[in-house]
Amino acid sequence: MDEQRRPRRPLHFGPDAMEAHGGTTPDPAEAAEAAHQAALTVIEAGRQGASPETTARLVRLVDELGIDTLAELWSARPARSLPGALWRLYMLREWVQRQPEQAAREYGAGMAAAPVAHVVTGIAEPPGPAEVLTLADRILGGVFDGDLAVALERAGSFCRVIATGRAHLEDSEVTAASLMLGTAEDLEAAAGAWRAGALH
């Protein structure tokens, strides 16, 4: 396996690991600040003249660090915060990576009923598994080499089309559609907050 693509062991920052190194468990305010700083560091690493290779590596951050590490850093933060929004972008990509056929089917079922959101995503047509995989990478890549608000809006629109598709498919649960719609609304709100300088 190519050294650059070899999955790395997840890093763990839980209480046991911290105590083993003489540290203490941070209080909630410290944890929130650490999550925000980590998110800001990741974004700045990609936005300060980074090469396409660096952007690609940041897009594959889950592969590099492991899902557990990102969960410990960001999953507990509010959805409409910088770390919360980044967590949702990475989880969206992770879901598409794991289930591209399902993502394509749900997207295809929803795009005619959500034409504005479909246009905003900028997906190639017809949107099959390869197209949704490419879109997921491009949306996340836009966080680092484009306008963060636009990337968040594209992700929100993608989620909105998926939610619409789920609502139209007979074998989909209403709850799954509602959860995806909630993610769409959170990402769109995060985009507005970023533009207003209020995404923390």
Sign, CA dihedral 141-154-109-95, equals: positive
The per-residue pLDDT for 50 is 67
pLDDT at residue 18 is higher than 60: no
Question: 156-195: per-residue pLDDT in tens?
Answer: 999 999 999 999 998 878 899 999 999 999 999 999 999 9
pLDDT recorded at residue 47? 77
Rounded to the nearest integer, the mean pLDDT of the chain is 86
Token readout for 169 is 């498919």
| Range of weakest confidence among 37-41, 89-93, 134-138 | 37-41
**Is the sign of the CA dihedral 159, 163, 168, 173 positive or negative?**
positive
pLDDT in tens, 26-82: 678 888 899 999 999 888 887 776 688 888 889 999 888 888 988 988 999 999 999
